[in-house]
Structure 1
Amino acid sequence: MERNQIRVGIIGCGAIGKEHMNRLTNIVPQTKVVGVYDYFKDVADEMAEKYDAQSFASGEELIQSDDIDAVLVTSTDDTHSGYVMDCLKKDKYVFCEKPLALTADECAKMVEKEVALGHRLIQVGFNRRFDNGYRGIKQAIENGEIGEPLMIHSAHRNISQALGFKTDYAITRVAIHEIDITRWLLAEEYDEVQVLKVKQSKRTNGDWLNPQLVMFKTRSGQIIDVEVQTDGAYAYDVQCQVVGEDGTLNLPDPASVVKRTKQSKHYQLGNDWATRFIDSYDTEFTEWANSISDGKLVGPSAWDGYAACVTSDALIKSRVTGVPEKVELITKPYLYK
């Protein structure tokens, strides 16, 4: 192992954990996976053998190890908060897949701890910020190419969901991406949010609400609508259009071969997130490693995780009350400005 390589420990050896192990080993030269933990010990042992890493008895033991420079948390959502806080107590870099925590209070405590430490250690896995399409939209907005942005129309469509999917997951696991990317594109916090009832799809393979129409209003009055279709869609398809005073910006579809055959013109769409955003994951972890080497994180922060959690809570409340709900944030610390 090169002396300047970042020694990474991974907590959670499920599908996305395995993808990231491969990525950190074969795509990102600055990192080496040296430790793993999973609730299912046989899975962790298998991954440890494959990557010549140590299999730890617990996530806490992995975090405490002096042989680990940075931690990647890809375990179940309910475990994120505890592992991230343990990393902060150890003053250790941690990349946490979304959500940062299940409650806004837990996120706020992480923000408070980071502020007390005086430097950022947390990066949250809001992957779309690293996608070339979204980055192109962000640059065009900042360059003033469409004047002042007025509204955004978005869609997030999925073919299927795993067993046990629930109505609230449409917000906390699906629309959370739109919650974050829209804040980032517009550099705005939300004032209020709402979930609107729409006609339900007969293609839904469960008893959750599908689709849902989600609305955001920023503090300056911009309106964002997001169609969240969690099951039964024709493809995994993510859309975004920014409407400005002087023009519009549309998220491009991933590069594909356009086929002309049998009196038709078509190209293939993806079937899941892994195929659509694979390049942005590579960029995300390359930039994470570079920022650790530079001693200054620049990716999505604990504050972004906190804001997404508060917004999710307000949306879930709105679905119940049927009216817009306010997004009430604590004062943003200087560390994140």
Structure 2
Amino acid sequence: MTQQGTLGIAVIGTGKMGADHVRRIDEVISGARVAAVVDIDETRAKAVADTAEGCRAFTDPAAAMDAPGVDAVLIASPGPAHEAALLSAFERDLPVLCEKPLTPDAASALRVLEAEQRLGHRRVQVGFMRRYDTEFMELKALLATGELGRPLMLHCRHRNASTHPYFTTEMLISDSVVHEMDQSRWLLEQEITTVTVLKPTPNSHAPEGLSDPQLVIFETSGGALVSVEMFATCGFGYQVQTEAVCERGTARVGDAHGMLVNRPGGWGGGIAPDFVARFAEAYDREVQAWVDATRRGEVEGPSAWDGYAAAAVCEAGLRAQKTGERTPVEMIERPAFYR
């Protein structure tokens, strides 16, 4: 560690998410500093590095990891680059917070699992930030008490105002519904065993070629059902909502019951414009928890197994999306290392 125990972090990727993490570590998080940033775009890397005192810019992740003062790695680069960065971090035995996806497919995620197990200790926390959102944490705690009985169903809604020009139908599953995959596994403490994807007539306001919205249905190892409405072009804002239907009651989060204002002819409140605004506190809490655990020499939070499981469910979801059929999830048995 550097600076009397301060954790020096190399942030790999300086796009929207990476740059926001640099700001977060520099301005919000305690016990850490940004020691290095990495991007293939050298100009962008230098511009982001200039926002954090003492930060150096690199174009090569390995060089950044070897830089003086780097104790840990935060990976916020595009998914296809994650495996190489993770394996480089393992070679140096550096702790990692890796934004989702762990890797883009189950085969590469399995290679990461095997490499981490060869180290003999966990090094990876995967960035499924909903686990750090106050409302979702409250729902998880309530379900754990058993007060409402066994969860029978989850009803989820995931809505975006609009999409990027490069957004594809497949990304509805791999970039968006992947959050409900992890969230459902975490809340229910069950694995997802099958995925079905149903497609209504596309929204007339969706970009040409984007089959939006979609209804995704999970079946789980414990017999629960999960429905996910994925609507990426709803036009009015960003919403993430979940209702748990249990044997003796229900519980719902995500309604954003903030300030309600009465005006002539109407009443209401605000809707978050995007995921950065909606989950800002969750991201803060997630990164702080990772920093605190790392400084204690521990690894907590979503594991590489959770990243692998999400990748396996994504693959089933993409097959279901193409065929319209109920599709089984193919994954290995959970290793004892991750129990």
TM-score range, shorter chain: over 0.9
Q: Name the amino acid aligned to 1:226.
A: V
Residues 92-142 of structure 1, C-alpha deviations (whole Å, 9 max, x = no match): 111111111111111111111111111111111101000011011100000
Q: 1:230 aligns with which of 209, 222, 232?
A: 232
Residues 16-43 of structure 1, C-alpha deviations (whole Å, 9 max, x = no match): 1111111111111111101111111011
Q: 1:285 aligns with which of 257, 271, 287?
A: 287
Deviation at 1:49? 2.2
Q: 1:246 aligns with which of 245, 248, 268?
A: 248
Whole-Å Cα distance in 1 between the matches of residues 156 and 313 of structure 2? Answer: 17
Structure 1, gaps ≥5 residues long: none
Residues 247-297 of structure 1, C-alpha deviations (whole Å, 9 max, x = no match): 001004335210011132211111101111111111001100111112221
Match status 1:31 vs 2:32: yes
Q: Within 5 A, what are the aligned runs for 1:23-172?
A: 23-51=24-52, 52-172=54-174
**TM-score, with normalisation over the residues of structure 2?**
0.96
Deviation at 1:60? 2.0
Match status 1:11 vs 2:9: no
Aligned to 1:168, the other structure's residue is in SS state helix
Whole-Å Cα distance in 2 between the matches of residues 97 and 265 of structure 1? Answer: 38
Aligned to 2:169, the other structure's residue is in SS state coil
Whole-Å Cα distance in 2 between the matches of residues 72 and 215 of structure 1? Answer: 32
Match status 1:319 vs 2:321: yes
Whole-Å Cα distance in 2 between the matches of residues 20 and 280 of structure 1? Answer: 12
Which residue does 1:176 correspond to in 2? Answer: 178
Aligned alpha-carbon RMSD (Å): 1.2
Q: Name the amino acid aligned to 1:77.
A: G
Whole-Å Cα distance in 2 between the matches of residues 286 and 206 of structure 1? Answer: 41
Structure 2, gaps ≥5 residues long: none
**TM-score, with normalisation over the residues of structure 1?**
0.97
Q: Name the amino acid aligned to 2:15.
A: G
Q: Name the amino acid aligned to 2:26.
A: T
Deviation at 1:62? 1.1
**Matched pairs, number:** 337
CA contact (8 A) 2:45 2:59 kept: no
Whole-Å Cα distance in 1 between the matches of residues 333 and 298 of structure 2? Answer: 22
CA contact (8 A) 2:239 2:254 kept: no
Q: Within 5 A, what are the aligned runs for 1:175-324?
A: 175-324=177-326
Deviation at 1:190? 1.1
Percent identical residues: 32
Deviation at 1:322? 1.8
Whole-Å Cα distance in 2 between the matches of residues 15 and 320 of structure 1? Answer: 30
CA contact (8 A) 1:192 1:217 kept: yes
Deviation at 1:66? 4.8
Closer, same or farther in 2 for the Cα pair 1:66/1:335, shift >3 Å?
Answer: farther
CA contact (8 A) 1:254 1:276 kept: no
Whole-Å Cα distance in 2 between the matches of residues 126 and 92 of structure 1? Answer: 20
Deviation at 1:164? 1.1
Q: Which moved more, 1:94-103 or 1:255-264?
A: 255-264
CA contact (8 A) 1:115 1:333 kept: no
Q: Name the amino acid aligned to 1:32.
A: R
Instruction: Report runs of 4+ in structure 1 exceeding 3 Å deviation.
Output: none
Residues 42-77 of structure 1, C-alpha deviations (whole Å, 9 max, x = no match): 111122222121112411211233531111111122
Q: Which moved more, 1:57-66 or 1:306-315?
A: 57-66
Whole-Å Cα distance in 2 between the matches of residues 145 and 8 of structure 1? Answer: 41
Aligned to 1:171, the other structure's residue is in SS state helix
Whole-Å Cα distance in 2 between the matches of residues 172 and 127 of structure 1? Answer: 16
CA contact (8 A) 1:149 1:244 kept: yes
